[in-house]
Structure 1
Amino acid sequence: MTVYCMDLLHTMASSYRNPCGGSGHEPAHARFVGPGMLTAVVSRDVFASPPVDSILAAIRAVTGPLGCLLIVKVLSLFISSYPGDRLNFGLAAEQAKSEGYKMQMVIVGDDCALPPARGIAGRRGLAGTILVHKVVGAAADAGLSLAAVAAEAKHASEVVGMMGVALSVCTLPGQVTSDRLGPRQMELGLGIHGEPSVAVVELQSVDVVVEHVLKQILSQETQYLPITRGCSVVLLVNGLGATPIMELMITVRKAVPELQLVYGIAVDRVYTGTLMTSLDMAGLSITIMKSDDSILKRLDAPTKALAWPVGSEGNRPPAKFRVPLPPSPSIKDDEIFAPSQELSKQGCILEAAIEASATAIINLKDSLNEWDSKVGDGDCGTTVILEDMKKHYPMDDAARTINEIGATIRRVMGGTSGILYDNLCFPKDVLIVSRGNR
């Protein structure tokens, strides 16, 4: 293992009964060990804290002359156990100091689920800890002193906030899974060890979820984060174990414009992936970190930690911008934007027929998808014929209207069925008539 100018040790907190730390969060934390991030991690059984002796053994194994920084994330909701989260590592640190090691410890608590008035035990440390890991690891790799690295870690921990949403309860090995969450319910403000969340609500769309989570993290009433309009942030969307990457990307697609347009906040970096899990839990967490030149420099620094979602040399792929879809070539620009004219009787009849047909197709969506699955695809797509019809279907020209319906189907409907239905709109006689009309 590469030895940094200063060694880092990441440890995990508390016990199963007062849920914290332990295994079950893979790839965190072992796969964040590597040049540019952590030197070692200390783990135990699933959701169980390592004892003081294990922490001391790790400190002795990796600490060099420049010292060791313990990064501890607190995950307890209960006041009776909150001091215990720190005592395990505090005692290990004090014992290491008595043996001559230079030691410092930073507590990470990025949870924004509970308002301060209810946060008796303080904030839990969750996925935002990963960003702190990266900042600290890059600072140590740059050769900074223990005090300087600890200062950067403390600053990073003070400008990061997170909130999670669960669609299922995780399955603890050898235990019966809790049935507290119904099939059409979700949990807001979850921990990552199967403990009850802040609230159980009816299942909502991703747009509603993202709006709620960002509102909670960026609330000016709670003031968890020093982030206001005009600031810049780093966004981390993290899967909790059983969430497809596609769903994380959909969350990003909603979160970025929400931050930019609603809150007036620039998004400097976006990190997406399954980074800190809760075994097989379905759900995700959204983390916001206030960015500045120093933090961006640390996040962009190269690392060979296997789970960090950026190339080993710190290279970031170029941002992808949405490219507007060009209009159908069969319609001229002046026709698309021309003011609507009163339709002829034939056009009105055609319009009513298309609207009735499109409505019938929408009502048959499940059956169409089932039929499509029999030929290997499984999703005909959602029709937008009604939407396109209101924009630019030339209702007084039946042949061209059928042509445009085909263009709509070709654009929005995937699978095997899409191309078959598209072809139905382009029989030879229709094309000949259409050319003749022109």
Structure 2
Amino acid sequence: MNNVEINKGFVGPGMLTAVVPGEIFTSPSSEAILMALHAVGSGSKSGTLIIAANYTGDRLNFGSAMEKAKLDGLNVEMIVVGEDCALQSSDKSAGRRGLCGIVLMFKIAGALAEEGKSLKEICEIVKHASENSGTIGISLTPCSIPGSDSSFSLGSDEMELGLGVHGEAGVMRLKVMPAQDVVKKMVDHMTNPESASRLDVKKGDCVAVVINNLGGTSRMEMNIVAKETISYLELMGLLVERVYVGTLMTSLEMAGVSITVLKVTSFLLNCLDAPTSAYAWPNCYLPVGAKTRFTPEPIKLYSLASKVPDLEAAGPQISQKGEAIIRQALSFSCSALVSCEKQLNCLDREGGDGDCGSTLCKGARAILDLLEKGLELSYPSQLLLTLGSVVERSMGGTSGAIYSLFFTGAAKAFIDQCTANTWCYAVELGMQAIMKYSGAEPGDRTMLDALSAAHRALSEELQRNGNDSLEECLTALKGAAQAAEKAAVATATMKAKAGRASYVNADRVNTPDPGAHAVGIWMRAVYEAVKQQIRLRT
């Protein structure tokens, strides 16, 4: 591609004057470069600076063009930027590759030129800045030149560390790990004192950081990496003065990021902060008008778990026999939900995102873990509030909010007594809380269909047969479990009017609602738990 590009990419006041592109992953020809030098340098007394990445083809072609330009009487100098920190061996090689750090050199050089610095001064400053920068990249996928296969292969559970931007493989293959661990691995590799290509940093150094998108990484993922990078660099004792996040130097569609760290002074910060009209230059992560970047102290978060229950206002206390029943009921129902995880996920794939079982399983496991650690069971009101907090935190999303509302609403029933009728009233209050904030009602093909059927059966049985004995309560629980299971099955033929299933074509949703089915599961488990407790006492 032998042409000169003006006013593209980082070209503009405060950055570059011209760029000379080659074919994909290929250096431009010396002829095209010479044309650019004449286009921007003819008649200029101040001269022209070439900033090239450290690749053999670039050095040769830009160097050849510079020599020809000098013969034509142009004042031209060249800086070769190579800040790659992937190389570990000290053996002779092509040297450190030029990666995203070159973009910072563009910005610094452009700002200095706008100030009217001489070509010699600009060369010295940019060269020194380049020597005090480092970049390391990591990728989840390779890239491919259009019409060609991928440059290398990666398993779905693998990452490539220390790769270049031309599709070449890196220096190390790792298993996929959390972002925090990935960033630590990258920065440790970049600053490893035994590495030949390390960036030397020490506690108290001021740095600017670039989180660069290699092509196929989402903005959310980029910001996660940025947060983890800032945290880890500050843990090392570095002062992170500037942070830039954007798509600056890609490797086509590669899903990955690179981290660039530049040691800065107040002078270099002024260069980075200098205005530019280059539209691809990202805004620094600073508040408007601010010149100093800092990480604020974490805000102390409100937590239900940290609250000391006021036992005088905690409502009625139940007996040890009652505690045993509740413990068994929680254990049975949570274990049942764990064992039915795959079944519920399968039901959820038709009208949801296929994770209903997994989400409920998280909540169930969290409750089981609390039971093992000694969950306080004496006060039903406090217990239900605790369960609401646990499921909200462990499950998250819609299901976590729904069950948190259910438990929190149910807790209001236990003001001055704890009878079978109180538990029945608690289910009613829990349902009302869900309906108030979700907008769903019985008949909408949700868990409320099973809950309302169970509540109705429980209420009718208690009124009909009384609740003076455990046996009478057991009969009511059996009816409630059966009603919940029957209602759950009936949702298979109902039209969804709430939840994610309401957005799906009705012809595709012909199995029971997973939320309703889950209610049937844990209602049956509660019944079996109470039945076992009765048997143990007889």
TM range (shorter): 0.7 to 0.9
> Which secondary structure does the structure 2 equivalent of 1:41 belong to?
coil
What residue number does 1:66 align with? Answer: 46
Quick one: structure 1 residues 350 and 183, their matched pair in 2 at CA, closer, same or farther if it must change by over 3 Å?
same
What residue number does 2:300 align with? Answer: 324
- RMSD value, Cα: 3.7
Q: Measure the CA separation in 2 of the matches of 1:39 and 1:366.
A: 60
Task: Specify which structure has the bigger relative contact order, considering alpha-carbon pairs within 8 angstroms and separated by 6 or more residues.
Answer: 1
1:228 maps onto 2:202 in alignment: yes
1:288 maps onto 2:288 in alignment: no
Quick one: structure 1 residues 327 and 110, their matched pair in 2 at CA, closer, same or farther if it must change by over 3 Å?
same
Is the 8 Å Cα contact of residues 372 and 415 (structure 1) preserved in structure 2?
A: no
1:34 maps onto 2:12 in alignment: yes
Q: Measure the CA separation in 1 of the matches of 2:200 and 2:158.
A: 32
Kindly indicate which of the two structures has a greater share of residues assigned to helix: 2
Unaligned runs of 5+ in 2: 312-318, 419-538
> Which secondary structure does the structure 2 equivalent of 1:396 belong to?
coil
1:55 maps onto 2:33 in alignment: yes
1:207 maps onto 2:180 in alignment: yes
What residue number does 1:197 align with? Answer: 170
- Bigger CA drift: 313-322 or 225-234? 313-322
Quick one: structure 1 residues 161 and 311, their matched pair in 2 at CA, closer, same or farther if it must change by over 3 Å?
closer
Give the counterpart of 1:431 among 412, 436, 440: 412
What residue number does 1:419 align with? Answer: 401
Q: Measure the CA separation in 2 of the matches of 1:125 and 1:71.
A: 10
Q: Measure the CA separation in 2 of the matches of 1:234 and 1:387.
A: 47
Identity of aligned residues (%): 38
What residue number does 2:88 align with? Answer: 115
Q: Measure the CA separation in 2 of the matches of 1:406 and 1:314.
A: 38
Letter of the 2:87 counterpart: L
1:247 maps onto 2:221 in alignment: yes
Give the counterpart of 1:125 among 98, 123, 127: 98
Length-normalised TM-score, structure 2:
0.64
Quick one: structure 1 residues 59 and 356, their matched pair in 2 at CA, closer, same or farther if it must change by over 3 Å?
farther
Quick one: structure 1 residues 231 and 367, their matched pair in 2 at CA, closer, same or farther if it must change by over 3 Å?
farther
What residue number does 1:78 align with? Answer: none
User: Which structure has the greater CA radius of gyration?
Assistant: 2
Q: Measure the CA separation in 1 of the matches of 2:285 and 2:15.
A: 11
Quick one: structure 1 residues 312 and 180, their matched pair in 2 at CA, closer, same or farther if it must change by over 3 Å?
closer
Is the 8 Å Cα contact of residues 367 and 387 (structure 2) preserved in structure 1?
A: no
Is the 8 Å Cα contact of residues 372 and 416 (structure 1) preserved in structure 2?
A: no
Quick one: structure 1 residues 374 and 245, their matched pair in 2 at CA, closer, same or farther if it must change by over 3 Å?
farther
- Bigger CA drift: 345-354 or 215-224? 345-354
Q: Measure the CA separation in 2 of the matches of 1:387 and 1:307.
A: 52
Map Cα deviations across residues 374-397 of structure 1 (whole Å, 9 max, x no partner).
767777776594599599975432
Give the counterpart of 1:180 among 149, 153, 159: 153
The aligned runs of 1:354-369 (5 Å cut-off) are none
What residue number does 1:103 align with? Answer: 76
Quick one: structure 1 residues 205 and 311, their matched pair in 2 at CA, closer, same or farther if it must change by over 3 Å?
closer
Is the 8 Å Cα contact of residues 379 and 414 (structure 1) preserved in structure 2?
A: no
What is the deviation of 1:105?
Answer: 0.7
What is the deviation of 1:364?
Answer: 6.8
Map Cα deviations across residues 249-305 of structure 1 (whole Å, 9 max, x no partner).
2222222222222x2222111211222111110111111111211111111111121
What residue number does 1:155 align with? Answer: 128
Is the 8 Å Cα contact of residues 300 and 315 (structure 1) preserved in structure 2?
A: no
Is the 8 Å Cα contact of residues 305 and 386 (structure 2) preserved in structure 1?
A: no
